[in-house]
Every structure is written in structure tokens, then in C-alpha cells.
Amino acid sequence: MGLRSGGRQLGEDPPDGEGPTPRFTRNAVYDATGHRMLIWSGRMVDGSGSTLLNDVWALDLATDQWTSMELPVARYGTAAIFDPLAGSLVTFAGVTTQGRFDDTWHFDPTDGAWRDVASGVYLAVLKTSSARRVTRLALLR
């Protein structure tokens, strides 16, 4: 049994209309309250090189429509979860053109606002691979 959206099995046909650029090392989380999937960050690789992506996309699972939102700093190699209590996407770390960061950001999909999360609001519990990429992330309030 798979995830169904708009009366179809996800993965059968692409959603209608404009959507996100194909990308590597992106994050995707499910927002149960808004019944949507949020994807953000990543990098696009083509013949001209690698580009960090600075966007957030929300896929409404009832209508199969994409909506574009902005991101604070383009990055890839992040970890993310959806916090159902706050109704927000929470992201940790990542690599930018200025190097690696260990910051935490909170994105509210209802107002499209990003907020830098002060330490102490969330405690990040991490498991990293030998390549120092975050492979597991749990946030405790």
C-alpha cells in the first residue's frame, strides 16, 4: 500500500503544472496538518557545474499543485524533520558556498517565514556517517 494523492498512487504520474527543479541531496517532509509534502534545498548538477538551490516547494496532496516558497540561505547536505506541534519544517546544518554550518532553522509554511532557531529551543540528536553527513535527526522540545 502506497501513499495516495488526489486519487492517484504517488509516483504514477507527475503532478500538474510547474514544480521544483530536479535536485540531489534535498530534504522532503510530510506536513500532516496541511496534507502536503515540503521539499527544500539541494543542488542541481548539469554540464555547466553545480548550483546550490535556494527554494522550498510545497506539494498539496489533495490537488497535486506545487507552490514555491523562499529559503534563507542556499545549501545542501542538511537534515530536516516536520515538527507537528509547531506545524513547521525544522532544518539543521548544511553546506553553503561559505562552508559548512551547524545552524538550525524553522520554516512556517502557513506564513512562509524562516526563523533562525536559538539554541535551547530544540536539542538536536544526531547520528553522522563516516563522511560527517547527518544521517539521522531527532528534535526534542
Phi first, then psi, for residue 35 (nearest 5°) are 45, 60
Query: Residue 40: which domain range?
Result: 4-9+17-140
Structurally, how many domains does the chain consist of? Answer: 1
CA distance readout (Å), 127 to 1, 25, 74, 92: 30, 17, 23, 12
Query: For the residues 51-71, what does the mean pLDDT come to?
Result: 85
The maximal CA–CA distance of the chain, rounded, in angstroms, is 44
CATH number of residue 82's parent domain: 2.120.10.80
In tens, the pLDDT along 27-53 reads 888 988 889 998 888 888 888 888 888
Q: Give pTM, 2 decimals.
A: 0.61
pLDDT for the residue 35: 92
Residues 6+ apart with CB under 8 A from 96: 52, 73, 74, 75
